[in-house]
Amino acid sequence: MKKLILASQSPRRKALLSQLGYRFSTQVAAIDETPLFNESPKDYVLRLAEQKARAIFQILPKQEQKSTVVLGSDTCVINDGNILGKPDDEAQSIIMLEQLSGSTHQVFTSIAAINNKSIIHEVVSTEVYFKPLTLDEIKRYWQTGEPHDKAGSYAIQGIGGQFVTKINGSYSAVVGLPLYETSQMLATLGIISPIQEE
């Protein structure tokens, strides 16, 4: 039986992968997440997902590699072509959310799965529409603690969901892991969910 490892400790990714019915373990991949010079947002998230998956796969014993698939993923928020990372403080959070206020931005989520024969990957793009935000709303949102460790300074699955008027694309990808694409990718590498046929 093939073993699945999620190269992440993100509670959101763990919850989404569990939602699909998979049994898996998790390991954190320690990689440098600094964007490269002139690297596009799409190339950036794809590189990080691949690096996370490779980092965990490469430290597995050779015998274990034969029966293991490692899944890596990364998500970034893009506004006007710029990557919005996690805010360092309230001032950064205000800047980010004021940029997103009353406008549309993109969320790129990449997935990469590796076994002993190949690595496959995909980037899922979703458009997210925000209502206009007041400065007081942004400050009160910061005080909840939710934006502190979130790309783009918001969580669609949490309190920040009330800012989103609509999305065009995959909701689960914005949360952190695109369910459809992940299940299809894992099936390609022999990891079958409980409802898929052997």
Q: What are the b/e assignments for 6-27, b being 16+ CB within 10 Å?
A: bbbebebbbebbeebebebebb
Catalytic residue among 32, 74, 136, 149: 74
Among 113, 4, 107, residue whose Cα is nearest residue 49: 113
Strand pairing report for 82-84 and 68-79: antiparallel
Please tell me the chain's helix, strand, coil percentages from 3-state DSSP, rounded to the nearest 5: 40, 25, 35
Decide if 74 is catalytic.
yes
Q: What angle do CA 47, 51, 55 make, to 5 degrees?
A: 180
Determine the 3-state secondary structure of 62 from DSSP. Answer: helix
Write the DSSP symbol of residue 162: G
Name the pairing type of β-strands 104-114 and 3-6.
unpaired
For the annotated catalytic residues, the residue numbers are 74
